[in-house]
Amino acid sequence: MVRKQHFVSPIISKLEQALIKGNRSVLDNFWKNIEQTGTPIIEPFEDDNNCKLVTFVVRGTREIKNAVIITALANQDDVLTNNICERVENTNIFYKTFKVLNGTRTIYTISKNNNLRYNRFYDNIILNWHTCSPDPFNSKKFYQRYRREGQRIEIEYSVLEMPDTKPRIWSLKDDTVPSGKVEEIDFYSNILNMNRKIWIYTPPNFSKTEEKYHFLVIFDGKAFLDFTQPPIIFDNLIAKNKIPSLVAVFIHNYSGFQRGKDLDCYPSFADFIAKELVSWAKKNYYISSDPNEAVLMGSSSGALAAAFIGYRYPNTFRKILSQSGFYGWFPGNIFFQRMRYYYGKDFVRWWTKEDEQEPYWLIRQFYKSEKLPLKFYVNVGNLETRTMPSVHQFRKMLQEKGYEHYYEEYPGGHEYIAWREHLPEGLIYLIGN
């Protein structure tokens, strides 16, 4: 059972006390101050210098019955238990206060008149996306799309950046830095028996006469291109000689069941990447045959896929960049079983009944095998209440098996805005000059 959290903003508390005494002028002064200083309100938290109190405020109208701050600050999945705003009595002020670690960068949106169905994030936001809007008192924005079978929505978020937030060194466009090129291609896979949209990044001054290029494969490629803009990061890192020039392939993994089919340890998808895609890239893009110069990268289920393909093909890929990996997956997972029935005969069963009873399935495979010549960069956010336990188990395996790796817990959530800022660190660690 999720416990209710309650934190008190000194500014809101002082306002309520003044209103109780009949001083209504403080209400107008409150909104004038908000318009000048912006939101959310950030205040000290007792004697803890590592955290602050963060208060989101919503200006209400007669039509607004409730307001929900949709954010990962209280729980990665649960957007209702601790995210419903309170209201200052007899005013138009809705507010919610959280205790937040310094250095946190995360996103939030405001849902007015949320139907309050489904605590789980994805279920709630699919039903309530039309009620969501960014914070009008915060100029920092971040867009993100979500897709379910037959439904696509786009949410405009606001950005919370706490004191001591990691500066954006590599992810901002620098007009003095030469730009690489991105080409979109429809790639037909005989193994998957389907067309797959991919995007190819080639570095500035790409040439087939110089030293062969490092090779990077990124899952959820369309989302990464749109929300993290890796070409900007690649250009900046290459220009500053932090990493060698590379060719990157962004794989489009469609939403819902198709994405699960690709990324949840599916051998046919691994074969497509390691056999068809790599052969094609060697022929057309002058990439290196050295597995130590080949990187697999993904987040969430994409990180699971990266580790799985590295496990199956360590002589093709030896560098794994894993962000917020879904390592709790196993063939008995309910969503995976639904996906199996959705695809029916089109899905090749490769697992056993025993596998369906084995949580942390891929971690167990690593334990059972000899140590492989792989190197890992692994991270997870401190707000990822569902993901963190399985990432901890994966890290424990890496330690016990003696794998070379770097591990980091960052102040943030299961979000592209966080993965964007930590992608450069992973590349520098794995292939840095």
- Residues 265 and 310 placed together within one structural domain of the fold: yes
The predicted structure's pLDDT at residue 345: 67
The predicted structure's pLDDT at residue 184: 97
The predicted structure's pLDDT at residue 322: 98
- Which tens digit of pLDDT belongs to each residue from 389-410? 999 999 999 999 999 999 999 9
The predicted structure's pLDDT at residue 214: 98
Residue 2 lies in a domain: no
- Residues 154 and 185 placed together within one structural domain of the fold: no
Q: Residues 75-79: what's their mean pLDDT?
A: 89
Q: Report the number of distinct structural domains present in the chain.
A: 2
Boundary-marking domain end, from 129, 161, 193: 161
Residue 43 lies in a domain: yes
pLDDT at 26 over 80: yes
- Residues 223 and 131 placed together within one structural domain of the fold: no
- Which tens digit of pLDDT belongs to each residue from 201-212? 999 999 988 889
- Residues 93 and 206 placed together within one structural domain of the fold: no
Boundary-marking domain end, from 98, 126, 161: 161
Q: What is the mean pLDDT of the chain?
A: 94
Choose between 160 and 261: higher pLDDT. Answer: 160
- Residues 95 and 190 placed together within one structural domain of the fold: no
The predicted structure's pLDDT at residue 68: 98
Domain CATH for 349: 3.40.50.1820
Residue 174 lies in a domain: no
Residue 11 lies in a domain: no
The predicted structure's pLDDT at residue 347: 72
- Residues 115 and 254 placed together within one structural domain of the fold: no
pLDDT at 310 over 70: yes
By percentage, how much of the chain surpasses pLDDT 90?
Answer: 84
Residues 136-141: contacts with CB under 8 Å, at least 24 apart: 136/59, 137/34, 137/35, 137/38, 137/39, 137/57, 138/38, 138/39, 138/40, 139/38
- Residues 214 and 300 placed together within one structural domain of the fold: yes
Boundary-marking domain end, from 161, 193, 218: 161
The predicted structure's pLDDT at residue 352: 86
pLDDT at 1 over 90: no
Does this model's pTM top 0.85? My answer is yes
Q: Residues 372-398: what's their mean pLDDT?
A: 97
- Residues 141 and 203 placed together within one structural domain of the fold: no
The predicted structure's pLDDT at residue 286: 96
The predicted structure's pLDDT at residue 76: 85
Domain that holds residue 65: 27-161
Residue 169 lies in a domain: no
- Residues 218 and 141 placed together within one structural domain of the fold: no
Residue 86 lies in a domain: yes
Domain CATH for 58: 2.60.40.10
The predicted structure's pLDDT at residue 113: 98
The predicted structure's pLDDT at residue 2: 62
Q: Which residue has the tokens 């039903």?
A: 127
- Residues 120 and 51 placed together within one structural domain of the fold: yes
The predicted structure's pLDDT at residue 350: 84
- Residues 186 and 93 placed together within one structural domain of the fold: no
pLDDT at 148 over 80: no
pLDDT at 173 over 80: yes
Q: Residues 135-149: what's their mean pLDDT?
A: 89
Residue 304 lies in a domain: yes
- Residues 408 and 321 placed together within one structural domain of the fold: yes
Q: Residues 364-390: what's their mean pLDDT?
A: 97
